[in-house]
Structure 1
Amino acid sequence: MGVYKANSLKDLLSKNVLSKTIDNIDNMEIYAINTSGLSGSKMYKLIITSKEKEKVLYLKVNNLKEDWLAKVSNDKGRELTIFEESIFIKIEEFIKDVYIAYYKNDSYYAILMNDMSEYIGADKNSEDYYTYLDNLAKFHSKFNEYDIIKYKSLLSVEEYYDFLTEEKISEEFREKNSYGWRKIRELLGENLYIEYCELNHIDNKFSYYPKTFLHGDYRPDNALYMSNNEIRFIDWANSGCGPCTLDLFWYLISSVDYKSDKIDLIYYYKERIESYQGYKFTQKTWDTLLKVGIICTCRMFLATLISMNDINDKFVLYNIDWWMENLKIILKSIYTELK
């Protein structure tokens, strides 16, 4: 059935569109609401009333020329890729009942959504790691590189590695994460840190690995926990084409308690995606997927992880050490092979 593509913002908020959610509309009120996160997109709450009932909807508006994240990631409406027919038919079960309509022009895009707030994962069963990972594996298994490579608006592996660097993030986040970047420099050592920062042409540094459609910011804040076996996804602004492990490790570093057994969760995910796709990865392919996923995730979030946690807590330190040691091994292997 798809999601309605409006021809203007007025059309997006017209009775013709709104009446798909509630009949005999008498009134509509719109309120701006505060949001947190990297993006500068704005959210509005719509309260629509009729004689019989009241309906709450949400409107997301992202000004692509003002949002710093959109500018550094060259976003031209990336989030709307999920509404492309060839994408939508494969992920409909993961976005069912969420989206009503959308509109895009050269300056901004807007998405009208149902109120799904009662299902937001951060407030409900955020520690049900196996359900989150099972649904992530199922989602990744739906795609191969050739399904999505034609969508040039999606982030590439190179862009994931580069777009949240210290030089590109907003001043607010740069200040918050400055300690983390200094600590990474200290722990890697000057030479390895320079190589880490100057690394490019990521795909050329590794043997072939399969790519899939990536959510790009998979965590409970951007998920709807519908039941103990069903997760739906929201907020696709950082979606892209890359290794499944990039989503996997982003989820592990951003959302999983640092005392949890990461190895167990990694191999649970591997078992599930192999089951869904109907074949097993070769050991070489899986090792490559692990390396690319870890190095990109560390580049995007390790400084934040260090900055936001108390490194005097031994379990926090063990967690940071796990990421740092794996990062060092991968970086050293890259530059050993290049010499």
Structure 2
Amino acid sequence: MVEAGSIAELLASATDVTTIDSAGKSGARLERVSIGGEPHVVKYLDPSTDWTMRAAGVDGSATLELWRRGILARLPASINQPIVGIAHEDGVTALLMRDVGDWLVPVAGDVVPLDQHLRFLDHMADMHATFWQTSDDIDVVSNRTRYLELSPHTAEREAALGSTHHVPPLIGQGWPLLAEVAPTAAAIVSPLAIDPTPLVDALSGTPETLVHGNWKLDNLGSDPDLNTILLDWELPGRGPALSDLAWYLSINCRRLPQSKEDAIDAYREALERHGIGTEPWWSRQLRLCLLGALVQFGWEKAFAGYDDELAWWERHAVEAAELL
């Protein structure tokens, strides 16, 4: 997988270039092109316009690092990552990808089919098993950085930059709101959103693997062979496998076809099916990663008020606080 010398070289054979009106929240620019008569998409990752890149803090981009280190080429067959070429020039990374748009999960808020959801969990476990406790150089984005991406620090930084993106101001509004609607949860997670060191330290004794960092349905799909399409490697790196699971359960909560408890059991069974024993570390990592998901999304949960969803996460945060 060779990196092109320039963006012009990467797209030398591209024709029929059109801009895609993206519903994405990061600020990345997208184009549709034809390469050899086949549809492709070009995504431009530019830290001057992409707040998620600024949050990740990786020179070039986290995706570029994965490419250069050969990590994307070592993903299991169950993961369809569509990047076929890459170039980095003047601070901008261009990703050339097969156009998999027809196979992505629809952006409408419908519940995802149970069989597809279970495949996502199985393939997540397959990816985690592939890199379990690996000595490969997968240290791209740190656990600390992942837990700080949606913190008040991000809202403050983006405001100081005059950012016009939609999400950072909501982060800034949501954290104070959490203290109003769920003071018990806020007392635990709001300090960790400022400084996640106690959480990161508590997780450090549990197994690690390659984590994607953003298993949201907007980044997922199923190709004709029923492999899982996985896009937007914004926050990848070495971390606890269950942080990916907890993120998936939190960000996709309104569209899951089964309870969180059943989904957790399904992932655990899948991980064991892929050859990873889950004793004795499972309980500790699960409790801490569920707490971690509220550190990441407490601000977002607050906007719906103190509903069953927020109460579920608060209960698990309280249970995990004793591990810090």
* Structure 2 equivalent of residue 319 of structure 1: 309
Q: Does 2:77 match 1:93? A: yes
Q: How far apart, CA to CA, are the structure 2 residues paired with 1:97 and 1:195?
A: 36
Percent identity, aligned pairs only? 20
Q: How far apart, CA to CA, are the structure 1 residues paired with 2:48 and 2:173?
A: 30
For residues 189-218 of structure 1, the C-alpha deviation after alignment (integer angstroms, 9 at most, x for no partner) is 475455434442533234610111111111
Q: CA shift at 1:183, angstroms?
A: 3.7
Q: How far apart, CA to CA, are the structure 2 residues paired with 1:134 and 1:259?
A: 15
Q: Does 2:134 match 1:137? A: no
2:202 aligns with one of 200, 205, 211: 205
* Structure 2 equivalent of residue 122 of structure 1: 106
* Structure 1 equivalent of residue 22 of structure 2: 35
* Structure 1 equivalent of residue 31 of structure 2: 44
Q: Does 2:175 match 1:181? A: yes
- In the superposition, relative to structure 1, how do residues 103 and 199 fare at CA in structure 2: closer, same or farther (>3 Å)? closer
Q: Does 2:212 match 1:224? A: no
For residues 285-329 of structure 1, the C-alpha deviation after alignment (integer angstroms, 9 at most, x for no partner) is 11221123112211222321332x4x48xxxx1121000111122
| Aligned Cα root-mean-square deviation (Å) | 2.8
For residues 200-249 of structure 1, the C-alpha deviation after alignment (integer angstroms, 9 at most, x for no partner) is 25332346101111111112211221258521211112212111111101
1:246 aligns with one of 218, 227, 243: 243
Tell me the matched-pair count: 307
Q: Does 2:279 match 1:291? A: no
Local SS of the residue matching 2:197: coil
2:234 aligns with one of 211, 215, 237: 237
Q: CA shift at 1:109, angstroms?
A: 0.4
- In the superposition, relative to structure 1, how do residues 114 and 192 fare at CA in structure 2: closer, same or farther (>3 Å)? closer
Q: How far apart, CA to CA, are the structure 2 residues paired with 1:259 and 1:183?
A: 29
Gaps of 5+ in 1: 19-27, 335-339
Give the AA of the match of 1:232: I
Contact 2:189/2:298 (<8 A) preserved = no
Higher RCO (CA 8 Å, separation ≥ 6 residues)? 2
For residues 94-121 of structure 1, the C-alpha deviation after alignment (integer angstroms, 9 at most, x for no partner) is 5547222110135110011111111002
Local SS of the residue matching 1:131: helix
1:105 aligns with one of 89, 103, 107: 89
Q: CA shift at 1:282, angstroms?
A: 1.6
Give the AA of the match of 2:146: Y
- In the superposition, relative to structure 1, how do residues 102 and 191 fare at CA in structure 2: closer, same or farther (>3 Å)? closer
